[in-house]
């Protein structure tokens, strides 16, 4: 059965970062859907001519948009969004990590996963790059909840082995085994993809970063995401933990983690203009930066 949606339509059928005037708009637009697939799009009068008998759903009080893409969001932090008032490391310790530690409870993890994916969809997000949980079971619940509702999800089990709450720590050996099981179970299943996800270099030893490197080498189509350069105290501490590093990005680059499938949530541009492979206007880059304005509100200085 074909159904027509009528309303203001805005979309970018071409890449807006590479093409001028990529935005296409129809003030009185028509969108024809058949079995969940778009079969026609344009002015309502033109689309109506193609499907004169199709029922019409009037959406003129709103705006018809493509599904939104969120390049950085945390599933375990769903219930602390807006709980600000601290610098980054204090905020993690006092607001975020206590809830994250509770996700060892599988019942709570399943409940929160369903709540999280529901919130994404209700706000128009159909694709998301998500920080999972430190716990394998909770991360599996996230993948399952996304699959149930048809959300396109790229996510992974967060790995850390120092400088967080002890119950969130893993070991390189355990992290490899748990992530390997998640990759084999979920990566490439329908709309699900796996992203290797150390929380940040602050909480990842060199041994754990080597595990991340090994997983990417064994599965070249995996994604990679982490945090970088969010707070001056964090940057200073990372420099102390990795005295051989030339800059923050180098702590990841040394382990082969800066690739075309990497995404870097950050609150600011790099302080060191010599950083390799970092996205800048007018300069091609093999990697991607995801600005996080809400994080900036709780992370800086």
Query: Residues 202-261: pLDDT tens digits?
Result: 999 999 999 999 999 999 999 999 999 888 888 899 999 999 999 999 999 999 999 999
Residue 31 CA to residue 56 CA, distance in Å, equals 10
Residue 59 CA to residue 163 CA, distance in Å, equals 51
Residue 285 CA to residue 260 CA, distance in Å, equals 8
Residue 93 CA to residue 203 CA, distance in Å, equals 13
Q: What pTM value is reported for the model?
A: 0.88
Q: Is the pLDDT of residue 300 over 50?
A: no
Mean pLDDT of the chain: 89
Query: Residues 5-57: pLDDT tens digits?
Result: 999 999 999 888 788 889 999 999 999 999 989 999 999 999 999 999 999 99
DSSP H or E segment with residue 225? strand 223-225
Q: Is the pLDDT of residue 154 over 60?
A: yes
Are the beta carbons of 67 and 135 closer than 8 angstroms?
no
What's the pLDDT at 283? 45
What's the pLDDT at 221? 97
DSSP 56: E
């Amino acid at each position: 059965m074909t159904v027509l949606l009528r309303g203001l339509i805005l979309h970018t059928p071409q890449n807006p970062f590479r093409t001028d005037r990529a935005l296409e708009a129809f003030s009185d637009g028509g969108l024809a859907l058949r079995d969940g697939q778009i079969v026609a799009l344009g002015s309502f009068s033109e689309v109506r001519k193609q499907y004169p008998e199709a029922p019409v759903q009037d959406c003129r009080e709103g705006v018809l948009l493509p599904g939104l893409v969120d390049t950085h969001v945390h599933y375990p932090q769903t219930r602390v969004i807006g709980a600000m008032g601290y610098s980054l490391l204090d905020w993690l310790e006092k607001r975020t990590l206590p809830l994250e530690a509770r996700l060892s409870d599988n019942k709570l993890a399943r409940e929160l996963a369903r709540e999280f994916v529901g919130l994404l969809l209700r706000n128009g997000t159909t694709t998301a790059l998500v920080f999972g949980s430190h716990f394998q079971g909770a991360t599996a619940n996230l993948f399952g909840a996304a699959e149930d509702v048809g959300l396109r999800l790229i996510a992974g089990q967060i790995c850390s082995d120092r400088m967080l709450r002890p119950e969130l720590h893993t070991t390189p050996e355990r992290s490899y085994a748990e992530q390997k099981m998640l990759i084999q179970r979920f990566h490439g299943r329908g709309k699900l993809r796996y992203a290797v996800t150390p929380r940040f270099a602050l909480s990842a030893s060199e041994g754990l970063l080597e595990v991340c490197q090994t997983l990417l080498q064994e599965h070249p189509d995996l994604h990679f995401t982490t945090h970088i350069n969010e707070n001056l105290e964090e940057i200073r501490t990372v420099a102390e933990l990795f005295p051989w590093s030339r800059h923050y990005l180098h702590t990841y680059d040394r382990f082969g983690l800066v690739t075309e499938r990497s995404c870097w949530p950050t609150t600011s541009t790099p302080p060191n203009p010599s950083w390799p492979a970092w996205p800048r206007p007018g300069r091609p880059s093999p990697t991607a930066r995801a600005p996080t304005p809400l994080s900036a509100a709780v992370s800086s200085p």
